A and B are shown apart, each in its own frame.
Chain A
Amino acid sequence: MGCNKKALVALIGSVFMVGTTQVLAEPTATMMANTCAGCHGTAGQSVGPASPNLAGMSASYFNDSMKGFIEGTRPATIMNRIAKGYSEEQIESMGEYFASLPVYKADVPHDAAMAKAGAEVYDQGCAKCHDENGALPDDDAGILAGQWLLYLQYSMEDFQSGHREMPKKMKKQVEKLDEAEIQSALNFFASQK
């Protein structure tokens, strides 16, 4: 473990403290994450139609989202109010919990023709950052594959209106697309199984 003497002393001190004052000072990650399930589904597997799946998203994306809700840089109806109920460490532990779950792709109703057209839009404009058709957590760009269509549409509306800041590379790509192409791409992501 490479734990030096100083740390060991601190550790023993903390055990003493923990043993004599309050024993368990924090809710566990599972305890906190379970409270999300009322809207985001058991274990982060949403049954839709608007609240997104959380299962499998990267901890970094979860943390950034919650931070954005708290700071008001990410538009929200209710998440801004809920995110303020947690400390940075609590958010980190919830992020690790959701990242530890397998990626969940929901069976999302979508327009099959648009999804087909969207595949091309994806290849040319989205694939570089949203790997594996939007299913790779490690790209830290959220899980878009099998994600609920209303959620994808609301997110894109916020990006286009300027209420949510787009990464420069994304902005460049989105500006090239017309509305039909954007909707096709969103249907493509929603259609992923």
Chain B
Amino acid sequence: MANFTRRKFLKVAGGAAAISTIGFPAIVGAASKKVVIVGGGVGGATTAKYIRMADPSIDVTLIEPNTEYYTCFMSNEVLSGHRTMDSIKVTYDGLRGHGVNVVHDTVTDIDAAGKKVMTAGGKSFEYDRCVVSPGISFEDNIEGYDAAAMEKMPHAWKAGEQTVLLRKQLEAMDDGGVVAIAAPPNPFRCPPGPYERACQIAMYLQAKKPASKVLILDAKDKFSKQGLFTQAFERHYAGMIEWIPAEKGGKVTRVDAASNTLYVGDTAHKVAVANVIPAQKAAAIASKAGLTDDKGWCPIDGRTFESTMQKGVHVIGDASIAGPLPKSGYAANSEGKVCAAAVVDLLNGREPGDPSLVNTCYSVVGPNDAISVAMVYDLKEGKLDKVEGSGGLTPKDSSPEMRAREVNYAYSWFDNIKKDSWG
């Protein structure tokens, strides 16, 4: 192979491969290039931006009810008073700068056969490809936890007013009270979230109300980063955080909002502050549009994130079944890029390439102390899979110096992912 390097060889072979796909039948004749994105969270925003970056000839409309969006990630730091609501707020000006048509309206239905998206504002948007990134809605798995109860016992699992409400309750409570966190069953948005929240609330209580306690009532028997969190509970908040797994009476079945009481069967926990996080499923629009399976989540093709239930509609983020990727902000960002690349390829008559994804998730567990989990994913035999040998957790014996660095890397991740998604 004189004068013919491996790299050149691969490039030539790749070029030949591209030529061989011109006849790919499903995508021939895609002349129109209109994309409608439902939902302006991290998944939808990232998809919009990366489609426009890759192919500015594609007309992208993003429909999102809120003019300002609050990220769930880092909202636990608002609860401890370490961060302002302003710092977790993003706007849509950045996306407009990329030429995305941002519409503030609520999508009421998606007509996959007619390729149209309908809104509460009475508008209809035609598309060639639709990307749905709607987030989550709550299951009715806890008796008595209705809309009125949410105002008394906030979930704070969608950031915004709920976050502010929970923070106010923490500020108003007397020293010596119990803060209960009812943690949801799998699968749910942000698996380490309830346990980072316990740390952040405990950090606040330790400084301001040191006789108080955090009680985690869990619908599960184990949880994400459990070993590392258990270490952190001991390291920073010994005797202050108690975790009760489902098998030991942790599964909340009923609440009474009037008396701030959580029930596990007949056992009552009357508390000062109740943070109730119900079981979850894909947001309501996903089931309305026929995108969900019998468990309430959206099955997708791992190469393109196209729904396996409705042609021409892609689903990303927390609503999708993208396991082994978790339902995290980083995963939604990464899925948005894979989906964007696939949509650009499909609209340009090319076969979508192989995906590559990453998840990185930090939890700030104490002052100058953060832990993380990371993983690289690719497609194996048509399914999303972990890349063997990659990823994993912060080592249990990680030094205080390295855990302090992880805090600054967590903040770097936060600033960069906001800009990468919405900026």
Residues of A whose CB lies within 8 Å of any CB of B are 1-4, 6-7, 10-11, 14-15, 18-19, 23-28, 30-32, 34-42, 46-51, 75, 77-78, 81-82, 84-86, 92, 148, 150, 154
| Contact call A50/B405, Cβ cutoff below 8 A | yes
Contacts of B185 in A (CB 8 A): none
Q: Could you list 13 A-B pairs, sorted by A, with CB under 8 Å?
A: A34-B50, A34-B337, A35-B358, A38-B417, A39-B417, A46-B416, A50-B405, A50-B409, A81-B375, A81-B390, A84-B389, A84-B391, A148-B412
Contacts of B3 in A (CB 8 A): 1-4
Select which of A4, A27, A34 is within 8 A of B353 by beta carbon. Answer: A27
| Contact call A31/B4, Cβ cutoff below 8 A | no
| Contact call B358/A41, Cβ cutoff below 8 A | no
Contacts A34-B337, A82-B358 given; indicate if A18 touches B374 (C-beta within 8 A): no
Select which of B9, B50, B423 is within 8 A of A11 by beta carbon. Answer: B9
Residues in B1-30 with C-beta less than 8 Å from chain A: 1-4, 7-9, 12-14, 16-17, 20-21
Select which of B2, B17, B412 is within 8 A of A50 by beta carbon. Answer: B412
Contacts A3-B3, A50-B412 given; indicate if A24 touches B376 (C-beta within 8 A): no
| Contact call A14/B416, Cβ cutoff below 8 A | no
Contacts of A24 in B (CB 8 A): 14, 17, 351, 353-354
Chain B interface: which size bin? 35 or more
Chain B minimum-CB-distance residue to A22: B354
What is the minimal beta-carbon distance from B23 to any residue of chain A, in angstroms?
11
Chain A minimum-CB-distance residue to B338: A31
| Contact call A46/B12, Cβ cutoff below 8 A | no
Chain A minimum-CB-distance residue to B9: A11
| Contact call B413/A39, Cβ cutoff below 8 A | yes
B187 within 8 A of A: no
Contacts of B355 in A (CB 8 A): 27, 31
Contacts of B338 in A (CB 8 A): 31
Chain B minimum-CB-distance residue to A36: B358
What is the minimal beta-carbon distance from A93 to any residue of chain B, in angstroms?
8
Contacts of A14 in B (CB 8 A): 9, 13, 16
| Contact call B411/A35, Cβ cutoff below 8 A | no
B360 within 8 A of A: yes
What is the minimal beta-carbon distance from A37 to any residue of chain B, in angstroms?
5
